[in-house]
Amino acid sequence: MKKTLYVAVTIMALASLIISCGPAKKAKIGLSFSDFATERWPRERDEMTKLLKAAGYDVLVQEANHDAKLQNDQIKNMVTQGAKVIIAVAEDGDSLATAVDEVAKKGVKVLAYDRLIKSANIAAYVSFDNVDVGRNQAKGVLAVKAKGNFVLLGGSPTDNNAHLFRAGQMEVLQPLIDKGDIKVVADQWVENWDAANAKKTMENILTATKGKFDAVVASNDGTALGALEAMRTKGMAGKVPISGQDATEAGCNSIARGELTVTILKDTRNLTPLACDLAVKLAKKEAIPGLTSYKLATLTGDAAKTGEVPCKFLEVFQVTKDNLKQLVVDSGFQSYDGVYKDVKNAPAK
């Protein structure tokens, strides 16, 4: 009897303790995005959210709408809400370093996703080989036009990746410039990677050069498609080779229609789970193997930057009309119907 009573009291005590404690709170991981206007970011946000929730985490999502100060404030706010790890797509890699340095003092880990945050206090930086992106953009254009007047259309000047793309482009182009085979007749950057800004920039270039250029090395699909919109009014779309990046549905459709010459496939289906896996390990305070440390000065091209950052860079692939279906459609990266919409003589499914 005494034993039965003891067991009953113990069970009641445990039950009371569980009730008083309530359900265990899930750990939180934050997702901070520069914008959702860029085609890829909403898709990657949704995939990250799905993977992190499946791993048992609450997910906080914020979009800065191209406002660097707002993104800093949003990251600090997510920490206030309890986020211990934040995956961040930086609007401005310099500006966001301020928030990273501040929250790092509180033990919060920030993972720079695809775009570098220029602070040695980031927990890791995962992206693609962005210099190789630039190399492949230039090579793709040169395969069609190896001499003549060239236009360089860079991305957002606040995005460190834009400068890495340009570094890769110039590795390929500079010897031909020095040789005199190529003359750069316009060199512009496109704020926020915005297609409308790219269109206006190209309209100005068309006026300044009187349309006398032979090729365009543009740094992503959005800017390339904006430029093509302006070039189309002059009958130059499909005649002047132009590069892109990201293998977006619209960009790939443009390749299939014979306007965009080359895009670069960065398979985010590999990058997103990698980032989520690292975020979970950081949340659990586990080691994150398989990363290589790079000097911040090397990553930024700024000798004044000090410290090192653990990094992982994934392979990229050049996509042209010849391998479009194989690399993009058959792999499932984009749908057949999206890539070949309104395309005559499209290959069989």
Each residue's pLDDT tens digit, 198-251: 999 999 999 999 999 999 999 999 999 999 999 999 999 999 999 999 999 999
Rounded mean pLDDT, 323-335: 97
CA distance 108 to 30: 11
CA distance 223 to 248: 12
Residues 80 and 98 in one domain: yes
For residue 39, the model assigns a pLDDT of 85
Residues 329 and 271 in one domain: no
In order of 76, 86, 116, 180, the CA distances from 104 in angstroms are 11, 11, 16, 50
For residue 25, the model assigns a pLDDT of 67
pLDDT(155) > 60: yes
User: Which structure tokens are listed for 178?
Assistant: 């020095």
pLDDT(38) > 70: yes
Please answer whether residues 262 and 319 qualify as being in contact, where contact means their C-beta atoms are separated by less than 8 angstroms: yes
pLDDT digit string (tens) for 107-140? 999 999 999 999 999 999 999 999 999 999 999 9
Residues 248 and 136 in one domain: yes
Please answer whether residues 237 and 259 qualify as being in contact, where contact means their C-beta atoms are separated by less than 8 angstroms: yes
Residues 146 and 248 in one domain: yes
pLDDT(158) > 90: yes
Q: Is residue 298 part of a domain?
A: yes
Residues 188 and 275 in one domain: no
Cα 172 to its chain centre, rounded Å, is 23
CA distance 296 to 310: 10
User: Would you place residue 270 in the very low, low, confident or very high pLDDT band (cuts 50, 70, 90)?
Assistant: very high
Please answer whether residues 229 and 199 qualify as being in contact, where contact means their C-beta atoms are separated by less than 8 angstroms: yes
Structural domain total, the chain: 2
Q: Is residue 99 part of a domain?
A: yes
User: Would you place residue 315 in the very low, low, confident or very high pLDDT band (cuts 50, 70, 90)?
Assistant: very high
End-to-end Cα separation, the chain, in angstroms? 76
For residue 119, the model assigns a pLDDT of 97
CA distance 94 to 116: 9
Residues 298 and 322 in one domain: no
Q: What is the dihedral of CA 239, 244, 246, 248, to 10 degrees?
A: -30
Please answer whether residues 32 and 89 qualify as being in contact, where contact means their C-beta atoms are separated by less than 8 angstroms: yes
Please answer whether residues 261 and 344 qualify as being in contact, where contact means their C-beta atoms are separated by less than 8 angstroms: no
Q: Is residue 327 part of a domain?
A: yes
CA distance 84 to 55: 15
Q: Is residue 16 part of a domain?
A: no
Residues 310 and 257 in one domain: no
User: Which structure tokens are listed for 55?
Assistant: 């791993």
pLDDT digit string (tens) for 181-204? 999 999 999 999 999 999 999 999
For residue 1, the model assigns a pLDDT of 39
CA distance 195 to 201: 10
CA distance 325 to 271: 22
16-25, 45-54, 95-104, 306-315: lowest mean pLDDT where? Answer: 16-25
Q: What is the mean pLDDT of the chain?
A: 93
Residues 188 and 258 in one domain: yes
275 Cβ neighbours under 8 A, 6+ residues apart: 48, 87, 111, 113, 126
Please answer whether residues 225 and 197 qualify as being in contact, where contact means their C-beta atoms are separated by less than 8 angstroms: no
User: Would you place residue 26 in the very low, low, confident or very high pLDDT band (cuts 50, 70, 90)?
Assistant: confident
Domain that holds residue 291: 28-122+267-314
Q: Is residue 250 part of a domain?
A: yes
Rounded mean pLDDT, 273-301: 95
Residues 72 and 168 in one domain: no
CATH number at residue 43: 3.40.50.2300
Q: Hey, how many other C-beta atoms are within 10 angstroms of the C-beta on 290? A: 9
> Radius of gyration over alpha carbons of the chain, in Å?
24
Q: Is residue 347 part of a domain?
A: no
Q: Is residue 3 part of a domain?
A: no
pLDDT(49) > 60: yes
CA distance 31 to 140: 34
Residues 176 and 156 in one domain: yes
Cα 89 to its chain centre, rounded Å, is 7
Residues 103 and 139 in one domain: no
Residues 233 and 210 in one domain: yes
Alpha helix stretches (DSSP H) within the chain: 2-21, 40-54, 68-80, 96-104, 130-142, 160-179, 195-209, 221-232, 249-256, 268-283, 296-300, 324, 336-339
CA distance 32 to 75: 7
Q: Is residue 15 part of a domain?
A: no
Rounded mean pLDDT, 291-316: 95
